[in-house]
Amino acid sequence: MIIGGGLAIGEKMDKYSVMTYVLNSKDFAITGGEFGIESSVISLFGYIIVAGIAFFMIKSRKN
């Protein structure tokens, strides 16, 4: 959704997206700065959780 241009989440409006959610915070850790929400600390935790779940699922299949 985010990469395809359907949904944009960031510090400013994106005229090329179907829907835009503008964050009021200017904190880089929350907003991801110019790169976007994909590089925020919140997303990083999500990536770690998904990678951990995938790791344990793969490990349990081998046993």
Which segments within 1-63 are labelled E, that is strand?
A: 7-10, 19-22
- Quick one: pLDDT at residue 1? 42
pLDDT band at residue 58 under the 50/70/90 scheme:
very high
Domain assignment of residue 12, yes or no: yes
Residue-wise pLDDT for 5-27, tens only, equals 677 777 777 777 877 877 777 77
* Structural domain boundaries enclosing 58: 7-62
Domain assignment of residue 1, yes or no: no
Whether residue 58 contacts residue 48, with contact meaning beta carbons closer than 8 Å, is answered with no
Please tell me which residue, 36 or 51, carries the higher pLDDT value: 51
Counted domains in the chain: 1
- Quick one: pLDDT at residue 33? 74
Q: Is the pLDDT of residue 4 over 60?
A: no
Q: Is the pLDDT of residue 57 over 90?
A: yes
